Amino acid sequence: MPEFPYSRLRRWPDVEAENLQAHDATDLLLVEWALALDVPGDEIAVIGDEYGAVTLALTDAGRRGIRVHQDLATGRRALVRNAEELGLGGFSSQELDAALLEGARVVLLQLPKSLAELEEIADAVVRWAAPDVVLVAGGRVKHMTLGQNEVLGRSFAQVQAQRAERKSRLVVAAEPLPAGLQRPFPVTAQHDGLTLVAHGGAFAGPRLDIGTRVLLEVLGLGGAQLLQNSGRDAGEGRDSGAGPRESDRPRGVVHGGGPALDVIDLGCGTGALAAAYALAHPEARVIATDRSAAAVASTRATAAANGLADRIVVTHDDAGSDLPDASADVVLLNPPFHLGTSVHTGAATRLFEAAARLLRPGGDLFTVFNSSLGYRAELTRIVGATEQLHRTSKFTVTRSIRR
């Protein structure tokens, strides 16, 4: 059998660069393990296959009927594109639910960064897969922890780490334990009138991350009580002393002399910005979008928990690419600065470009970012005139006006 052409795989539409590949050694180890087991494709489920390397290599080897779950919309699109490029088919994409796992005897998993996400996945496997299911999880050694083994040990009686190869390692979990009566996720937390709901894979879980809290305060959508009730010290993430002065409050919360009618929370996470804005501005039409399926499910649950299910439209999308040009008065953005386990600013740049496309001329982009990243010049270049609204040693909040 000819070797699978991993080098032909692309990350597109995700960020592409010389130091970013569409496969790694962990993918190869997972494929080798699955092929050695000689299990038919319709008894294999693949989770976390970032750009399709595992699914397509197994499909190319004759395994048909594989079910795959990818959290990111970019990964789903890359899988489709790579399959078309290689002329491969015979697999189906699923959400993290019973349809993905029913009857699966082997589950292949690229280990997620979050222990909470791993816990939700492990629970789903023992809840819905075959009684004799084996979970084979892999990752780069430098990113693996004993905590991952402990999480798997809560769902499986046997958890065995394999010898490291090519700087990657597999962990094999067998003998599933009985699933609990209730699923461990989503989880809920209250924040001074705002309810957040989070699935395991959602960034920051049900907490308000520091950057979001700072942006909410600057926008006038949260004050001292919100900060204190979020579970962290209210002074963290800002300079000691008072918060933003009243003169620092952004004018962009209103647009054209009146309230902003069309608002997009770009990269919505658990929906904190979208829900807070919708609660404060009943007249606004709010869209929340994220490339993470876990984030989208969390935001939908957050909207429902705050009585906003009929006022916030939530979409699973890649940088708002399915939303029309010039459709927003305001875009709210707390961009990531990681791509998987790699520090890379390309993800933020793509979101700045998306905001520029989505905003109407004169529309406002409110962004919070790590002060060390210095995005102001880039925001000015991509979106338009950018002013600093608030800055601490950790975070900067800017307002960019679409030219």
Going by pLDDT thresholds of 50, 70 and 90, the confidence category of residue 347 is confident
Output the pLDDT for position 353.
97
Taking residues 154-164, report their average pLDDT.
98
Rounded Cα distance, 38 and 218, in Å: 57
Q: Is the pLDDT of residue 217 over 50?
A: yes
Q: Which domains does the chain have, with CATH numbers?
A: 6-176 (3.40.50.150), 187-401 (3.40.50.150)
Q: Is the pLDDT of residue 248 over 70?
A: no
Output the pLDDT for position 1.
56
Instruction: Using the CB atoms, write b or e for 136-170: b if 16+ within 10 Å.
Output: bbbbbeeebeeebbebbeebbeebeeeeeeeebbb
Going by pLDDT thresholds of 50, 70 and 90, the confidence category of residue 345 is low
- Highest-scoring range by mean pLDDT, 10-24, 255-269, 322-336: 322-336
Rounded Cα distance, 113 and 355, in Å: 27
User: From the centroid of its chain, how far is CA 180?
Assistant: 26
Going by pLDDT thresholds of 50, 70 and 90, the confidence category of residue 321 is very high
Going by pLDDT thresholds of 50, 70 and 90, the confidence category of residue 259 is low
**Percent of the chain residues past pLDDT 90, beyond the cut:** 83
Output the pLDDT for position 387.
97
pTM given for the model: 0.90
What contacts 81, CB < 8 A, 6 or more positions away? 10, 12
Output the pLDDT for position 244.
41
What average pLDDT is seen over the chain? 90
Tens digits of residue pLDDT in 108-146: 999 999 999 999 999 999 999 999 999 999 999 999 999
Closest C-alpha to 95, from 336, 337, 300, 335:
300
Output the pLDDT for position 235.
36
